[in-house]
């Protein structure tokens, strides 16, 4: 059997499960969510070890951004699933009285979830929690670049979950291309923009809807009216977690010229507090996913004036937290998503110039603003566009499952987390139930001037 035939057969068997109605039962979905929680709970050590091997993640980071995050997501989903699954009543206009209108959630069918390497466990399972909660079958395709996590998912998923309804396919471009050729009911992709276009074109052939969780350069504005020490602490946390390999890490900072010395001092001090004098030796500081990505990051530093850091450990495949002040706007560092531990700090004359800088560029996935000035906050919110915004912190919107997470424009389309994820993997079917009690004659032919008058009044 060729690879393509093998995947077709796999999809067919998942579709058969879906058609059997098994995955629609609320009791099945809840039992599977509990089994997924057990998978995460019981294998914490193995998960942390795989993440350590792939990315040098420390235990605390693995817990907050992958293990604990997923457990929280499952808990939240289990708590609200019955409510989300109920028909959602909406009002009915007079013309349809007596009658009732509602939106009836139904699963889409069999979905394909393609994950990225930077949070390789969470980025496959968080969308799956939503897909499962909504009652879908799924194929999960983890990133081949995080090979240990991918293999672990392929080993654990069949041990805990219903193999008739979910399956892991490991592989890279060739395997993903073969999967993308098939007719899915939804494709959920997390990764870079270029492959996002490949995914969307493949989906278009079957009119398959897509969710694209992409990236981009997320700006961070630091106003002079801010609590600088706390701002620096939170920027260091958001930028250098996972060695900067986070889609919503601040990509670059915009500060007013006058604030630059104090800002640099505060960041330097915070870096020292969090990662010590030699971050490359810190157990809490991660490495770069592979030598190719390290080479990419090193190339961004060529010809740059490094204000802080810049050290590289080729053996451990790591780069120290690094800051470049005012790199050329047309340098690769300011043209491409950095996705690593380099932070450009761009000085501007005013926060209005910072807003203009952002609006000159593609819409980012995240935007951060540090300020005590409510007027500036309003100005930034009303005059810029971004997938997600956090004021006076970085990345913390991820901690609230009530907040949908997703991009806009080049940073993606669609969203998930909490109910948004459930809705992404559901079709909210429109249903109207009419009563036989009353049947207004004016709707029906033969029409007359009087009927037309009544119609005009009601419609």
**Least distance between ligand NAD and beta carbon 19 (Å):** 28
Q: Is 145 in the site for ligand NAD (CB under 6 A)?
A: yes
Q: Pick the closer one to ligand NAD by CB: 247 or 312.
A: 247
Q: Determine the Cα–Cα distance for residues 326 and 347; give it in Å rounded to an integer.
A: 6
**Least distance between ligand NAD and beta carbon 127 (Å):** 9
Q: Degrees (nearest 5) of the Cα angle 405, 411, 412?
A: 65
**Least distance between ligand NAD and beta carbon 412 (Å):** 6
The window from 25-33, 170-178, 371-379, 429-437 that contacts ligand NAD (CB under 6 A) reads 170-178
Total residues contacting ligand NAD by CB under 6 A comes to: 28
Give the three-state DSSP class for 80.
helix
- From the candidates 58, 167, 247, 390, which is the catalytic residue? 247
Q: Is 307 in the site for ligand NAD (CB under 6 A)?
A: no
Q: Pick the closer one to ligand NAD by CB: 75 or 173.
A: 173
Q: Is 3 in the site for ligand NAD (CB under 6 A)?
A: no
**Least distance between ligand NAD and beta carbon 376 (Å):** 27
The yes-or-no answer on residue 269 being catalytic is no
> Which helix (H) or strand (E) covers residue 367, if one does?
strand 366-370
Q: Is 373 in the site for ligand NAD (CB under 6 A)?
A: no
Give the three-state DSSP class for 126.
helix
Q: Is 386 in the site for ligand NAD (CB under 6 A)?
A: no
Q: What is the chain's percent helix, strand, coil content, to nearest 5?
A: 50, 20, 35
Residues 6 or more apart whose Cβ sits within 8 Å of residue 136: 18, 23, 107, 108, 109, 110, 111, 185, 186, 425
Residue from 58, 114, 137, 318 touching ligand NAD (CB under 6 A): that is 114
Asked if 394 contacts 369 with a C-beta cutoff of 8 angstroms, the reply is no
The residue behind tokens 């392929």 is 154
Give the Cβ contact number of residue 441 at 10 Å.
Answer: 7
Asked if 200 contacts 172 with a C-beta cutoff of 8 angstroms, the reply is no
User: Mask 207-246, x = binds ligand NAD (CB under 6 A)?
Assistant: ------xxx-------------------------------
Nearest Cα neighbor of 312 from 323, 304, 322, 303 is 322
Dihedral of CA atoms 386, 66, 150, 424 in degrees, nearest 10, equals -50
Q: Is 198 in the site for ligand NAD (CB under 6 A)?
A: yes
The yes-or-no answer on residue 5 being catalytic is no
Applying CB under 6 A, the residues found at the interface with ligand NAD are: 114-118, 123, 141, 143-145, 172-173, 176-177, 190-192, 195, 198, 213-215, 247, 337, 339, 365, 407, 412
């Amino acid at each position: 059997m060729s690879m393509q035939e093998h995947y077709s057969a796999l999809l067919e068997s998942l579709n058969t499960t879906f058609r059997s109605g098994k995955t629609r039962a609320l009791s099945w979905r809840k039992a599977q969510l509990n089994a997924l929680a057990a998978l995460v709970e019981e294998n914490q050590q193995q998960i942390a070890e795989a993440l350590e091997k792939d990315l040098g993640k420390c235990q605390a980071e693995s817990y907050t951004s992958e293990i604990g995050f997923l457990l929280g997501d499952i808990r939240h989903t289990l708590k609200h699933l019955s409510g989300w699954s109920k028909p959602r009543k909406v009002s009915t206009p007079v013309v349809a009285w007596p009658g009732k209108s509602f939106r009836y959630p139904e699963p889409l069918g069999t979905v394909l979830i393609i994950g990225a390497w930077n949070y390789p466990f969470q980025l496959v399972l968080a969308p799956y929690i939503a897909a499962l909660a909504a009652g879908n079958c799924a194929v999960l395709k983890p990133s081949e670049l995080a090979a240990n996590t991918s293999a672990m998912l392929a080993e654990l998923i069949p041990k805990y979950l219903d193999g008739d309804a979910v399956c892991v396919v490991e592989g890279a471009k060739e395997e993903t291309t073969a999967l993308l050729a098939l007719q899915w009911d939804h494709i959920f992709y997390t990764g870079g923009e270029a492959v996002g276009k490949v995914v969307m074109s493949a989906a278009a052939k079957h009119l398959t809807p897509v969710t694209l969780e992409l990236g981009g350069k997320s700006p961070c504005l630091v106003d002079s009216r801010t609590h600088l020490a706390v701002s620096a602490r939170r920027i260091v946390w958001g930028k250098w977690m996972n060695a900067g390999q986070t889609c919503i890490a601040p990509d670059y900072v915009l500060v007013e010229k006058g604030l630059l010395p104090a800002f640099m001092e505060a960041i330097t001090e915070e870096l020292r507090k969090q990662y010590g004098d030699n971050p490359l030796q810190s157990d809490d500081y991660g490495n770069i996913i592979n030598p190719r990505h390290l080479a990419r990051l090193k190339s961004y530093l060529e010809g740059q004036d490094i204000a802080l850091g810049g050290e590289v450990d080729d053996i451990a495949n790591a780069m120290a937290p690094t800051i470049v002040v005012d790199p050329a706007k047309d340098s690769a560092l300011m043209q491409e998503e950095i996705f690593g531990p380099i932070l450009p700090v761009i000085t501007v004359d005013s926060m209005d110039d910072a807003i203009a800088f952002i609006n000159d560029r593609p819409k980012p996935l995240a935007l951060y603003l540090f300020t005590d000035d409510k007027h500036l906050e309003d100005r930034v919110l009303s005059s810029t566009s971004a997938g997600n915004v956090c004021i006076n912190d970085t990345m913390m919107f991820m901690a609230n499952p009530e907040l949908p997470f997703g991009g806009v424009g080049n940073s993606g389309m669609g969203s998930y987390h909490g109910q948004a994820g459930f809705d992404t993997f559901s079709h909210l079917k429109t249903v109207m139930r009419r009563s036989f009690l009353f049947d207004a004659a004016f709707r029906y032919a033969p029409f007359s001037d009087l009927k037309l008058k009544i119609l005009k009044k009601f419609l």
